[in-house]
């Protein structure tokens, strides 16, 4: 019998990650392989992103989801990429009933979802059910939404939040001018490093009150997140993992010196995933 899936938060960064994977794209590939090897193929992915928003939480229950190119000013090759995944209308309806969430027959995967999934599940053969983000909800409210998702991992569902652990477009545009294509070669600004360290430290301590009040308690919070939406999916995924288990940072990194690319796992089997990734890395280094 397969282990229940941990819930995940991954930083998708710039849409260009789809063409220039960099360190985080390579990590997402390893993560996908590790999940498939140790946990098996998910029954479906319940995805919540910074870019699919609504006034209330809604499940998208279409039969098919195509990649949405919700960006501009990038090379034409980026919009030529495809990631068309199946939906699962029946499963979405059952989830809507059990979670008391409305379901709409609307499809599409924003770039925060499909750029991550093309590395995690490159065959695009696992059904995806997007869950809309309410960007004006508080972290505590989104943790409460995540609480409702507990147990889905035992049913073979992978809860996946995507955003960025830090996200300031003004800083990003300034840094991108001098960066490499993937943005991995730019030194990290001190404020970004301090914020990411605080978030990982408070996570390891299960300091939920501080994490929910990050905007007033985290150092440089307003600079790293002028608006909340790219961090908010973290709280949904964390709630899905349960408050009795410490969130574990399973990847850390930064592009363009200010765009944090950290990833987290949540729930009772987050530690098993962290160990499996470390084992895979050790095997790769030894080969």
Q: What is the CATH number of the domain that holds 93?
A: 3.40.830.10
Residue 206 is assigned to a structural domain of this protein? yes
**pLDDT higher than 60, residue 287:** yes
Count of domains for the chain: 1
Whether 208 is in a domain gets the answer yes
Query: Is residue 279 over pLDDT 60?
Result: yes
User: Does position 180 have pLDDT exceeding 50, yes or no?
Assistant: no
286 falls within a domain: no
In this prediction, residue 145 has a pLDDT band, given cuts at 50, 70 and 90, of very high
- Over residues 106-132, mean pLDDT: 97
Q: Which structural domain range is residue 156 located in?
A: 7-281
The whole-number average pLDDT for the span 188-196 is 96
101 touches 58 (CB < 8 A): yes
Report if residue 118 sits inside a domain. Answer: yes
- pLDDT averaged over the chain? 93
Cα(286)–Cα(54) distance, integer angstroms: 47
The predicted structure's pLDDT at residue 27? 96
Interval 81-100: pLDDT, tens: 999 999 999 999 999 999 99
In a domain, 1, yes or no: no
Q: What is the CA radius of gyration of the chain?
A: 17
Among 114-128, 179-193, 225-239, name the one with the lowest average pLDDT.
179-193
pLDDT in tens, 22-60: 999 999 999 999 999 999 999 999 999 999 999 999 999
Query: Which pLDDT belongs to residue 173?
Result: 78
By percentage, how much of the chain surpasses pLDDT 90?
A: 86
Amino acid 1: pLDDT: 54
pLDDT at 23: 93
Q: What is the pLDDT of residue 283?
A: 77
Q: Is residue 287 part of a domain?
A: no
In this predicted structure, the answer to whether residue 186 has a pLDDT above a threshold of 90 is: no
Q: For residue 175, what pLDDT band results from cuts at 50, 70 and 90?
A: low
More confident position, 56 or 185: 56
Residue 181 has a pLDDT of 47
Predicted pLDDT at 178: 55
17 within some domain: yes
139, 160, 146, 147: which is closest to 52 by C-alpha?
160
**Rounded distance, CA 286 to CA 280, Å?**
10
The rounded percent of the chain whose pLDDT value lies above 70 is 96
pTM score of the predicted model: 0.95
Three-state secondary structure readout of the chain: CCCCCCEEEEECCCHHHHCCCHHHHHHHHHHHHHHHHHCCCCCEEEEEECCCECCCCCEECCCEECECCCCCCCCHHHHHCCCCEECCHHHHHHHHHHHCCCEECCCCECHHHHHHHHHHCCCCCCCEEEECECCCCCHHHHHHHHHHCCCHHHHCEEEEEEECCCCCHHHHHHHHCCCCCCCCCCCCCHHHHHHHHHHHHHHHCCCHHHHHCHHHHCCCHHHHCCCCCCCHHHHHHHHHHCCCCCCEEEECCEECCCEECCEEEECCCHHHHHHHHHHHHHHHHHC
Tell me, what's the pLDDT at 115? 97
Kindly state whether residue 275 falls inside one of the protein's structural domains.
yes
């Amino acid at each position: 019998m397969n282990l229940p899936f941990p819930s995940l938060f991954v930083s998708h960064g710039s849409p260009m990650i789809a063409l220039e994977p960099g360190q985080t794209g390579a990590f997402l590939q390893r993560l996908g392989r590790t999940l498939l090897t140790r946990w098996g193929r998910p029954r479906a992915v319940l995805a919540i992103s910074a870019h699919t928003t609504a006034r209330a939480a809604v499940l998208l229950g279409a039969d098919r989801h195509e990649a949405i190119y919700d960006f501009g000013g990038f090379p034409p090759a980026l919009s030529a990429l495809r990631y068309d995944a199946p939906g699962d209308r029946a499963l979405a309806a059952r989830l809507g009933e059990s979670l008391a969430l409305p379901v709409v027959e609307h499809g599409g995967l924003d770039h925060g979802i499909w750029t991550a999934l093309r590395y995690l599940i490159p065959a695009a053969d696992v059904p995806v059910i997007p869950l809309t983000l309410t960007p004006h909800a508080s972290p505590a409210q989104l943790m409460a939404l995540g609480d409702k998702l507990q147990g889905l991992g035992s049913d073979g569902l992978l809860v996946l939040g995507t955003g960025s652990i830090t996200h300031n477009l003004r800083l990003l545009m300034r840094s991108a001018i001098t960066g490499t294509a993937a943005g991995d070669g730019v030194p990290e600004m001190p404020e970004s490093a301090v914020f990411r360290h605080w978030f990982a430290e408070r996570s390891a301590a299960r300091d939920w009150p501080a994490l929910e009040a990050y905007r007033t308690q985290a150092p440089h919070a307003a600079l790293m997140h002028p608006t909340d939406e790219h961090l908010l999916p973290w709280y949904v995924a964390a709630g899905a993992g349960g408050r009795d288990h410490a969130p574990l940072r399973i990847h850390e990194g930064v592009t363009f010196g200010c765009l944090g690319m950290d990833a987290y796992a949540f729930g009772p089997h987050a530690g098993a995933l962290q160990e499996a990734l470390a084992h895979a890395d050790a095997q790769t280094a030894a080969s």
